[in-house]
Structure 1
Amino acid sequence: MKFLRFGAMGQEKPGALDAEGTIRDLSSIVSDFTPETISKEALSAIAAMDLSGFPTVAPDVRIGACVGGARNFYAVGLNYARHAKETGNPEPAEPVLFSKSTSSICGPNDPIILPKGSEKTDWEVELGVIIGAACEHVSEDTALDHVAGYCVINDVSERTYQIERGGQWIKGKSSRNFGPIGPWLVTADEVGDPQNLGLCLSVNGESFQNSSTSDMIFPVAKIISYMSQFMRLMPGDVIATGTPEGVGLGLTPPKFLRDGDVVELTVAGLGSQRQTVVAYPG
């Protein structure tokens, strides 16, 4: 099933898409999709319901991030073989982990806001994972049992902050609206194999990223198992699993986002995002 959140920022309500693609308002049975309500069991119970009796929602409503109030927003760097090559880096021996500030999270079609003075803001289409059951020290064989669903993420990055300001990638990953998530949380049973999903991204109609999750160095099961050796993953935690080749940094010459650019991205079966780039307000 495809779950989502809709409405004005900070006032989102929970919803789902019915079989005809109509948004149904679920606020009569759940207050919101947050770490407290996004367990696999809770989502499965809703998925078993007949949605036809729930109110419909106008199709032009704003779509919010598919998870509200996320406690943790993790990410994996250099996780596609061809992306590592284009950036001049060797393939890592172990997953490269970092965090994005949860204050960067926004809706899938909200604007990308250029940080004040930014010159190297970049795009990164990624498969997102939403944890649905707590896990710690899990094996790769059981890791996917802890996934509530998957989503589209644009891991927007300011390369000057990330690379040229003394390391610590979180600085280049955490500006306001640098974490568009959604439009949907698609349950794991509907997605199937997360290592067989196409990803694409264009800027102003020009294609830059066109790849597949099959090019991941570390698959989703490995990422979850590996992370769980160092931390307890909890329901509602968001993991961005890395980006394929075609980022602006890897082009010759490099290309970065400017005010007025339009970014469009899709992960197969998980929906699409569309963001307009805007200058820092003030």
Structure 2
Amino acid sequence: MTETQYALVRFQEAGDSKARAGLLVENRVLPLDGDINSLIEHWDTTEGQLDSLAATAGQDTGLAAADVEILAPVEPAQVLQTGANYRKHVIDLAAAHREPGEDEEDVRAKTAAIMDKRAGQGTPYFFIGLPTAIASATDDLTLPSYSKSHDWELELAAVIGRTAFRVTPEEALDYVFGYTMVNDITTREFVFRKDMPAIGSDWYRAKNAPGFLPTGPLLVPAKFFGDPQDVQVTLKLNGKPMQDESTQDMIFGVAKLVSEASQIMPLRPGDLVLTGSPAGNGAHWGRLLQDGDVMEGTITGLGTQLIRCKDEVQP
């Protein structure tokens, strides 16, 4: 018998401010007891219950998905973000920032060789994001008035299922509960501290404004997701494709990222590990986010984000 596939969501009913966890089966939301992190942490017992619930779901079961507000599907205590993890993206950046007189093809070839060596011998580049920046997959994105350099970066994110501390790459995926989608919004002019160049990057100012981590709509258990290294990441801006890349282009795959992240700090159930953004962000195109823009993000099997941008209104 074929197992009924489902995803986890968080939702609110109309007129109710309480967020609840739910099981999404086709277009129906089945309310669940307990918060999302408890369901993840106790998956050894909840999995069978949810499998059975999904198998008996019908068109009159639970609530119509169209009648509820779908929230961000996760409530992580920790958000780990990964920089420079797509080969083509890094090569494009190197070519765009080459020194005057440098041949573009030479720069691309040299950078490709460096990235191939890094994939075999190097380690991922992590930084920490704030969970307070998380928003839903349909919340409007307010573009802070202090800059005009806000950019998109659609990413696959792994959701940790049980405490992982110093796990190996070979066992790392056993600690992944499932996957969701995150658009890692970045204020480009704040990435590097111009007043203190020796310090380098300033990820706090660049990435943690309210709503700068649109997340979801779905949290898909790993057993339904398939190979995380073979899905397509696509972002359209006002209907035009800007990012469209396979996760095969990652320099470090999900297993390596989770393993390396766990070497320093224990990863807890519900934590997010973002896997980096493919080529095609606004800095590449010379076109950053503006008032009225609509971003449509999709990753194979993870639903659709639809984010409308609006300028911050000054009092």
State the TM-score, normalizing by the size of structure 2: 0.82
Change in CA separation of 1:215 and 1:278 when aligned onto 2, cut-off 3 Å:
same
User: Could you tell me which residue of structure 1 aligns to residue 21 of structure 2?
Assistant: 14
| Residue among 80, 87, 90 paired with 1:84 | 90
| Aligned equivalent of 1:122, options 135, 151, 162 | 151
Distance 1:85 1:42, change over 3 A: farther
Matched to 1:105, the amino acid is I
Q: Measure, in 2, the Cα distance between the counterparts of 1:135 and 1:123.
A: 30
Runs of 4+ in 1 over 6 A off after TM superposition: none
Pair 1:37–1:203, CA change in 2 (3 A): same
Q: Distance in 2 between matches of 1:11 and 1:216?
A: 38
Return the offset for 1:168: 2.3
Structure-2 residue corresponding to 1:279:
311
Q: What is the 5 A alignment of 1:66-77? A: 66-68=73-75, 70-77=76-83
Cα deviation, residue 41, structure 1: 2.2
Q: Percent identity?
A: 33
> How far is the alpha carbon of 1:173 from its aligned partner?
0.9
**Partner of residue 47 from structure 1, selected from 50, 54, 59:** 50
Does 2:190 match 1:172?
A: no
List runs of 5+ in structure 2 lacking aligned partners: 1-5, 98-110
Q: CA deviation at 1:225?
A: 0.7
How far apart are 1:57 and its partner, in Å?
3.2
Separation in 1, partners of 2:144, 2:82: 22
Q: How far does the alpha carbon of each residue in 1:49-90 deviate from its partner, in whole angstroms, 9 at most, with x for none?
A: 22428522341422111113x211111000000111122285
Whichever residue aligns with residue 141 of structure 2, its letter is: I
SS of aligned partner of 1:265: strand
Instruction: Kindly report the root-mean-square deviation, in angstroms, between the aligned alpha carbons of the 2 structures.
Output: 1.9
Q: Secondary structure at the match of 2:277?
A: coil
Question: What CA distance in whole angstroms lies between the structure 1 residues aligned with 2:48 and 2:11?
Answer: 21
Is 1:193 matched with 2:193?
no
SS at match of 1:48: helix
Structure 1 residue 164 displacement after superposition: 4.5
Of 1-10 and 78-87, deviating more is 1-10
Deviation, structure 1 residue 24: 2.1
Give deviations 1:226-276, integer Å, cap 9, x for gaps.
11111101101011110000001122xx21001110000100011110000
Query: For residue 151 of structure 1, what is the amino acid of its counterpart?
Result: T
Q: Which residue of 1 aligns with 2:180?
A: 151
How many pairs were matched up? 274
Q: Cα distance 1:84–1:281, how it changes in 2: closer, same or farther (>3 A)?
A: same
Distance 1:15 1:159 in 2: 36
2:79–2:273 contact (8 Å) kept in structure 1: yes
1:5 corresponds to: 10
Tell me if structure 2 keeps the 8 A contact 1:74–1:97: yes
Gaps of 5+ in 1: none
Query: What is residue 268 of structure 2 aligned with on the other side?
Result: 234
Which residue is 1:132 aligned to?
161
Q: Secondary structure at the match of 1:108?
A: coil
The offset of 1:128, in angstroms, is 0.8
Partner of 1:64: 71
Decide whether aligned partners of structure 1 residues 164 and 119 sit closer, same or farther in structure 2, where only a CA change above 3 A counts.
Answer: farther
Cα–Cα, structure 1 residues 117 and 137, in superposed 2: closer, same or farther, change >3 Å?
Answer: same
For 1:10 and 1:268, how far apart are their aligned partners in 2? 31
Give me the TM-score of the superposition, normalised by structure 1: 0.91
The alignment status of 1:246 with 2:287, answered yes or no, reads no
